[in-house]
A and B are shown apart, each in its own frame.
Chain A
Amino acid sequence: WDPGQTVHLLFMYVCVMLHRTHNQMKTYLLQNSEDIRCKCICPPYRDIEGQIYKQNVSLKDCNCLHVVEPMPVDGKDVEAYCLRCECKYEERSSGTIKVTIIMYLSILGLLLLYMVYLTLLEPMLKRRLFGHSQLIQSDDDVGDQQPFANAHNVLSRSHSRPNMLNKVEHAQQRWRRQVQEQRKSVFDRHVVLS
């Protein structure tokens, strides 16, 4: 067993994986063939209706001659017809759009779930578990009005808690208190953002 070789293999593996992800990303994010188009809009000409042509061609081919197919006029009028057409080269990134929309929807979904949990499920669970008294108490301890309590808070903030779970719990509590506070000042007292 050779540690050097293991490291080497691991490195190779990581490289291969990276390469693969890179390729996948490429197919997702970089232009696939459907992401470019040349759009020519040709106004009415003589007795021909206005037409819109779209072709999947590169920028250098984006002109009336390559895009307008079939050509509605015959040989000698092509030039006159094409002069009036306006061709626009457009590109998009369908991968970006897909990733963005899916990401957005999943974040929105998560937030909605969490919102439902916070507003409906949690009070219900709490009520079932602890009864009413607990609820009222937990609402009460929000504001400690003593001037020295603030200093106390500030000083005790610097002592870190060893337990990770406690920390998360603590952070969540603090966040909730902040939101509560914000809600009060925006919706009840109307001191900001009215």
Chain B
Amino acid sequence: MESEQLYHRGYCRNSYNSIASASSDEELLDGAGVIMDFHTTEDDNLLDGDAASPGSNYAMSNGGGVASSTTHLLDFLEEPIPGVGTYDDFHTIDWVREKCKDRERHRKINSKKKESAWEFTKSLYDAWSGWLVVTLTGLASGALAGLIDIAADWMNDLKEGVCLSAMWFNHEQCCWTSNETTFAERDKCPQWKSWAELILGQAEGPGSYIMNYFMYIYWALSFAFLAVCLVKVFAPYACGSGIPEIKTILSGFIIRGYLGKWTLMIKTITLVLAVASGLSLGKEGPLVHVACCCGNIFSYLFPKYSKNEAKKREVLSAASAAGVSVAFGAPIGGVLFSLEEVSYYFPLKTLWRSFFAALVAAFVLRSINPFGNSRLVLFYVEYHTPWYLFELIPFILLGVFGGLWGAFFIRANIAWCRRRKSTRFGKYPVLEVILVAAITAVVAFPNPYTRQNTSELIKELFTDCGPLESSQLCQYRSQMNGSKAFTDNPNRPAGPGVYSAMWQLCLALIFKIIMTIFTFGLKVPSGLFIPSMAIGAIAGRIVGIAVEQLAYYHHDWFLFKEWCEVGADCITPGLYAMVGAAACLGGVTRMTVSLVVIVFELTGGLEYIVPLMAAVMTSKWVGDAFGREGIYEAHIRLNGYPFLDAKEEFTHTTLAREVMRPRRSDPPLAVLTQDDLTVEELQSVINETSYNGFPVIVSKESQRLVGFALRRDITIAIENARRKQEGIMLNSRVYFTQHAPTLPADSPRPLKLRSILDMSPFTVTDHTPMEIVVDIFRKLGLRQCLVTHNGIVLGIITKKNILEHLEELKQHTEPLAASWYYHKKRHPSSHGSNGKPGSRVHHVQLIRSFQDGWGGGGGDDSEDEEEQVCLLNGSNL
């Protein structure tokens, strides 16, 4: 056996050298060389090459960054089997292999670019395509955000009335130039007709109120119905907020069609309907999904991104930054959001691209100017009043409230969603949406704070009382006198308007809390940011007004004495609303840095960073005390997506041997031998098992590892051989070795499958602590890893096994609802990927200890394990 191994090593080196000699110092570490291996049938010629000088080139290949030059040989031979290198639905990608593929492609383009002007142009295009694709993504997401903003505003006002002079204007735009000068009539203008005015002909009175009420419910229901129908008929993936799924996709999962054209279109269209229907949901989360769809669609224009799943995820990271950038008008917040919340792999290059995408998107949205206020969001506010140290106490209290709300919301919403998932109740999505929309509309209409658009509510709560304000919240008693000056905006006793507003706000708070729990997870596009912010803003405003009144009536307390003199303006209720909004959002999503930056970009006031930080941090602490995961992680876990969270720590002392499959009671590992199987036997192995990959061993006796072959590649290769090669029959011998085994003379032509064999599968020894294994999976993005003992294959650990193990250790009562598990049953032939064993087989063929491979350091490791096979479901073999 040892000689066998040595033979392989020798061979590989030979073939390597022969290519290298044909092409000066080509660096042959990557997959391309292997595809070539497959397609050329003249491997033996290569073998005859120079076996004389293995050492030097070998060293060079190890050296890493050897500048590679052109290889006509490679170009000529590189014609991959169609389908190899792609992934099946609901599978995890292999980051290492994809990155490696990209490096190879890059190297090829670089080596070619001096050949001709055309090649040079192509290389320039390739170098620029990253920036081009994020530019296009930014443009598209900015434009779509503008469209959604304008259309949602208009549709929202359609519930109340219509603009007769120009149907396409909303209320505000309709009364753009009207001459109603008094405060009382500021919202009225002859062009804008409420439904009661149109139908009954009277604007006041109980009849018109009922008519308006009825029309409001009617429109809300029809919008909600249309939205859920469109989602159901055209693109079921368009429902929900999309952020949990995007997080999972960015961590390397494939959900086909999730970021497609139809999803984009339906999500854009129905998002407007859903927002306009008055449901307690926002458009911010779905905008991230919309931007990611744009990123995905544009990446198909550039081969660099369309053919490489890892590179595509870099574009998606940038796209999600652009999405938040337009959702909140916070470009930097968007970049940080992408970094903190959604991205899994975020190198500096992606940071700059995200920054640029966010910039372009914000620029486009600003030039569309959807709100007519030259701002990117409706609820942009500007304060310049100072805050005082004492106010940190109410701010921290708001943080506690936010944390409690977040923990409560996550628990309640997950329980409700689990119910929807597991019981028959989930069978009626349309009915559920209609029901929730009806309840929302019926309860919301009587209360002015819930009737209006949630964004407008937040705007009103954020805005401080000034001469421009006409809302009930600002009816302070002094204002009624009329004679008092407003310039210094002093603290005032609350008037009756403020008290009634308080009541209405309290009712609105309860209503929002209850409805949001039932709304998030409906089968319409539904974001969580706006309702959470609204809840926080309501609570914050209430606290703010309470503190303000306290300060007014007790201005001689030692707390207020120093800085809150009579007539001075010392409390800003709007600021409390903003801090509350940040705290609640932080409690729900557990974001910290990005959230503070987003809110601070909303206000444009640097001086409020400390209050925001205090509140957000408190809310995170309080929330974490009740459960460590944010709403998105909770939904990921509920759906059972294979998401290996990089934030969690693994502190247990289990060993690889205990986690690997097969377990003791299981049937033994399904393996392939390298040269004594027939096509028929291979097919029967594939038909009888549902694993997605098989270790290839030397022989039944030795059990030493040769490599790893993927189910999908095997099926494709056999099918391909049947079509293109003559003489392949059911009893043809299949071999993974370099040379065909010696066969009897009358046997049919053997089938060589070496090209689809991954000869450098990642291996660990059976005594490797799971801590390290989990770390490898997280950091390298592996999907599976073989466990060996003295070079003998013992078992396999997949990402799924690790997730199950983590779940077991957490001792959660509910079983892991593994979505991919079902899919595994449904797609037994799910393919893996790959099929291109690295050329540097000889390193990996002998089993290294894991630490050796890892200790090589960051730059080296990815080259070592380049050809990983990742099959989430190939759990054991």
Would you call B687 and A86 a contact (CB within 8 A)? no
The CB with the most chain A CB atoms within 10 A, among B521, B638, B716, is that of B716
Question: What residues of B have a CB within 8 angstroms of the CB of A56 in the complex?
Answer: 177
Would you call B147 and A100 a contact (CB within 8 A)? yes
Question: Is there a chain B Cβ closer than 8 Å to A75's Cβ?
Answer: no
* Binary interface encoding of chain B residues 457-469 relative to chain A, with 1 for a CB under 8 A from any of its CBs, else 0: 0000000001110
Would you call A52 and B720 a contact (CB within 8 A)? no
The CB with the most chain A CB atoms within 10 A, among B427, B429, B826, is that of B826
Would you call B150 and A154 a contact (CB within 8 A)? no
Would you call B373 and A90 a contact (CB within 8 A)? yes
Question: Is there a chain B Cβ closer than 8 Å to A66's Cβ?
Answer: no
Would you call A115 and B715 a contact (CB within 8 A)? no
When the two chains form the complex, which single residue of B262, B374, B719, B819 contacts A191, counting CB atoms closer than 8 Å? B819
Q: Which residue of B lies closest to A51 (CB)?
A: B181
* Binary interface encoding of chain B residues 703-747 relative to chain A, with 1 for a CB under 8 A from any of its CBs, else 0: 000000001100110111001000000000000000000000000
| Interface window among B168-176, B342-350, B655-663 | B168-176
Q: How far is the CB of A63 from chain B (nearest CB, A)?
A: 16
* Binary interface encoding of chain A residues 23-55 relative to chain B, with 1 for a CB under 8 A from any of its CBs, else 0: 000000000001001000111101101111110
Q: How far is the CB of B685 from chain A (nearest CB, A)?
A: 11
Indicate the size class of the contact surface on chain B.
35 or more
Chain B residues 172-192 with CB under 8 Å of chain A are 173, 176-183, 186
Q: How far is the CB of B430 from chain A (nearest CB, A)?
A: 10
A112 CA to B803 CA in the complex, in Å? 42
| Interface window among B228-236, B303-311, B781-789 | B228-236
Would you call A108 and B269 a contact (CB within 8 A)? yes
Q: Which residue of B lies closest to A153 (CB)?
A: B83
Q: How far is the CB of B850 from chain A (nearest CB, A)?
A: 32
When the two chains form the complex, which single residue of A102, A154, A194 contacts B639, counting CB atoms closer than 8 Å? A194
* Binary interface encoding of chain A residues 81-112 relative to chain B, with 1 for a CB under 8 A from any of its CBs, else 0: 00110100011111011101111100110011
Question: Is there a chain A Cβ closer than 8 Å to B566's Cβ?
Answer: no
Q: How far is the CB of A9 from chain B (nearest CB, A)?
A: 34
Would you call A190 and B239 a contact (CB within 8 A)? no
Question: Is there a chain B Cβ closer than 8 Å to A152's Cβ?
Answer: yes
A51 CA to B819 CA in the complex, in Å? 61
A52 CA to B187 CA in the complex, in Å? 11
A54 CA to B186 CA in the complex, in Å? 11
Chain B residues 199-214 with CB under 8 Å of chain A are none
Would you call B173 and A193 a contact (CB within 8 A)? no
Question: Is there a chain A Cβ closer than 8 Å to B686's Cβ?
Answer: yes
Would you call A54 and B178 a contact (CB within 8 A)? yes
Would you call A150 and B831 a contact (CB within 8 A)? yes
A56 CA to B237 CA in the complex, in Å? 47
Q: How far is the CB of A115 from chain B (nearest CB, A)?
A: 5
Would you call B176 and A104 a contact (CB within 8 A)? no
Q: A101-B168, A148-B715 are in contact. Are A189 and B822 (CB under 8 A)?
A: yes
Would you call A157 and B687 a contact (CB within 8 A)? no
| Interface window among A10-18, A125-133, A162-170, A180-188 | A180-188
Would you call B369 and A92 a contact (CB within 8 A)? yes
Question: Is there a chain B Cβ closer than 8 Å to A135's Cβ?
Answer: no
A165 CA to B411 CA in the complex, in Å? 52
Question: Is there a chain B Cβ closer than 8 Å to A145's Cβ?
Answer: yes
A42 CA to B486 CA in the complex, in Å? 11
Would you call B712 and A150 a contact (CB within 8 A)? yes
Question: Is there a chain A Cβ closer than 8 Å to B255's Cβ?
Answer: yes
Q: A149-B829, A151-B715, A193-B237 are in contact. Are A97 and B150 (CB under 8 A)?
A: yes
A183 CA to B429 CA in the complex, in Å? 11
Would you call A92 and B372 a contact (CB within 8 A)? yes
Q: How far is the CB of B197 from chain A (nearest CB, A)?
A: 21
Question: Is there a chain B Cβ closer than 8 Å to A137's Cβ?
Answer: no
Question: Is there a chain A Cβ closer than 8 Å to B853's Cβ?
Answer: no
Would you call B234 and A86 a contact (CB within 8 A)? no
Would you call A194 and B177 a contact (CB within 8 A)? no
Chain B residues 275-302 with CB under 8 Å of chain A are none
Question: Is there a chain B Cβ closer than 8 Å to A7's Cβ?
Answer: no
Question: Is there a chain B Cβ closer than 8 Å to A155's Cβ?
Answer: yes
A190 CA to B421 CA in the complex, in Å? 6
Question: What residues of A have a CB within 8 angstroms of the CB of B816 in the complex?
Answer: none
Would you call B719 and A148 a contact (CB within 8 A)? yes
Question: Is there a chain A Cβ closer than 8 Å to B264's Cβ?
Answer: no
Would you call A104 and B369 a contact (CB within 8 A)? no
Q: Which residue of B lies closest to A186 (CB)?
A: B236
Would you call A178 and B256 a contact (CB within 8 A)? yes
Would you call A193 and B822 a contact (CB within 8 A)? no
Question: What residues of A have a CB within 8 angstroms of the CB of B239 in the complex?
Answer: 186, 193
A interface list, Cβ under 8 A from B: 34, 37, 41-44, 46-47, 49-54, 56, 83-84, 86, 90-94, 96-98, 100-104, 107-108, 111-112, 115, 118-119, 143, 145-152, 154-155, 157-158, 175, 178-179, 182-183, 185-194
21 pairs of residues in contact across A and B, judged by CB atoms under 8 Å: A34-B176, A42-B467, A52-B183, A54-B176, A54-B178, A91-B374, A92-B173, A108-B226, A112-B226, A145-B828, A147-B711, A148-B718, A150-B830, A150-B831, A151-B718, A152-B719, A154-B831, A155-B719, A155-B723, A179-B236, A185-B823
Further contacts, 10 of them, CB under 8 A, given A41-B467, A119-B233, A151-B712:
A49-B182, A91-B374, A94-B169, A107-B265, A111-B265, A112-B230, A148-B719, A183-B236, A192-B255, A194-B638
Closest 4 CB pairs of A and B: A147-B829, A154-B83, A191-B819, A101-B168
